[in-house]
Amino acid sequence: GSVLEIKDLHVSIEDKEILKGVNLTIKSGEFHAVMGPNGTGKSTLASAIMGHPKYEVTGGSITLDGEDVLEMEVDERARAGLFLAMQYPSEISGVTNADFLRSSINARREEGDEISLMKFIKEMDEAMDFLEMDKNMAQRYLNEGFSGGEKKRNEILQLLMMKAEIGILDEIDSGLDIDALKVVAKGINKLRDENFGCLIITHYQRLLNYIEPDFVHVMMQGRVVKSGGSELSQRLEAEGYDWIKKELNIED
Ligand code: ADP
Ligand code: MG
Ligand code: MG
């Protein structure tokens, strides 16, 4: 198993401090949800974990199995077993979805141990069937002209095939209709075992009706201010965030 440990993380964007001391520990086998109002730093947290250059870590630490993630290049983080599904996945013209997937899988494997083309195609076919994806998605350029729902399904396809140890899923549910939401949830649930942990960042309880998190964390103003079990997300859905602000004396 793996452990991603985030300790007292401070992150700034263009000299403005966004994260003000985030603490979170995610172990493989655990599903964590992070919820919180808009603009509280959830995507900043995801981007900092994956090493987006715009996000400057000014304090604290992120380690994966004791290794300093902040010292790793972005591709090393992926090789180490971290997977990030972005809120706005980028388009790569000229690279087919299948080529991108295959090279991402091989980047995680030792030289000389690359996945064979046959095995890759078989696994991709199975995963695409499971996610009810149109097969011609494989040969299209990565994310180019994909609808919102197709992008999200495609991120889950990558997640299924990459064999990541820790997945960070930022608003994987945004813009999905109910059928697509169920498919995305089915994909994430398929990964539930002791070798995989994930951080599901979401605005809404909706997704959590299909993926039951073991832990729910609330982020406000750049910090995790409350943690609990799935009852916490249900209360947030019913009552919003005001009661937490009152309870913790947080000013707007
Ligand atoms: P959330 O995902 O919780 O909605 P974000 O992490 O996206 O919040 O944003 C947190 C704060 O950082 C917001 O005030 C937002 O305006 C600011 N911010 C995020 N990304 C950038 C950026 N690239 N440049 C400048 N400010 C940013
Ligand atoms: Mg490990
Ligand atoms: Mg966000």
Report the residue among 16, 18, 168 best suited for mutation to probe ligand 1: largest number of ligand atoms under 8 A from its CB.
18
At residue 138, the pLDDT reads 87
The strand order across the sheet containing 67-68 reads 16-27, 3-13, 55-64, 67-68
Q: Pick the residue whose CA is nearest to atom 5 on ligand 1.
A: 41
Pick the atom of ligand 1 nearest to 37's CA: 3
- What is the domain partition of the chain in residue ranges? 3-90+165-248
Quick: pLDDT tens for 186-235. 999 999 999 999 999 998 888 999 999 999 999 999 999 999 999 999 99
**Spatial separation of the C-alpha atoms in residues 66 and 55, rounded to whole Å:** 22
Quick: pLDDT tens for 144-160. 888 888 888 999 999 99
Please return the burial class of 188, using the count of CB atoms within 10 Å of its CB with bins 0-12, 13-18 and 19+: buried
Mean pLDDT of 121-125: 95
Q: Which CATH number fits domain 3-90+165-248: 3.40.50.300, 3.40.50.720, 3.90.950.20, 3.40.50.280?
A: 3.40.50.300
**Spatial separation of the C-alpha atoms in residues 139 and 160, rounded to whole Å:** 18
Q: Pick the residue whose CA is nearest to atom 18 on ligand 1.
A: 13
Least confident of 30-34, 113-117, 223-227: 113-117
Least confident of 2-11, 19-28, 46-55, 144-153: 144-153
Residues flanking ligand 1, CB < 6 Å: 13-14, 18, 36, 38-44, 54
Mean pLDDT of 165-185: 91
Please return the burial class of 93, using the count of CB atoms within 10 Å of its CB with bins 0-12, 13-18 and 19+: exposed
Question: Predicted ipTM?
Answer: 0.93
> Is it the case that residue 89 has pLDDT exceeding 70?
no
Q: What is the overall mean pLDDT for the chain?
A: 91
For residue 240, give Cα distances in angstroms to 36, 125, 222, 235.
10, 41, 18, 7
At residue 88, the pLDDT reads 62
**Spatial separation of the C-alpha atoms in residues 172 and 231, rounded to whole Å:** 21
In this prediction, residue 87 has a pLDDT band, given cuts at 50, 70 and 90, of low
At residue 141, the pLDDT reads 81
C-alpha 31 to ligand 3 mean position (Å) = 19
At residue 94, the pLDDT reads 80
Range of 61-70, 102-111, 129-138, 168-177 with top mean pLDDT: 61-70
Determine the longest span between alpha carbons in the chain, in angstroms: 58
At residue 212, the pLDDT reads 93
Q: Are 25 and 74 in contact (CB under 8 A)?
A: no
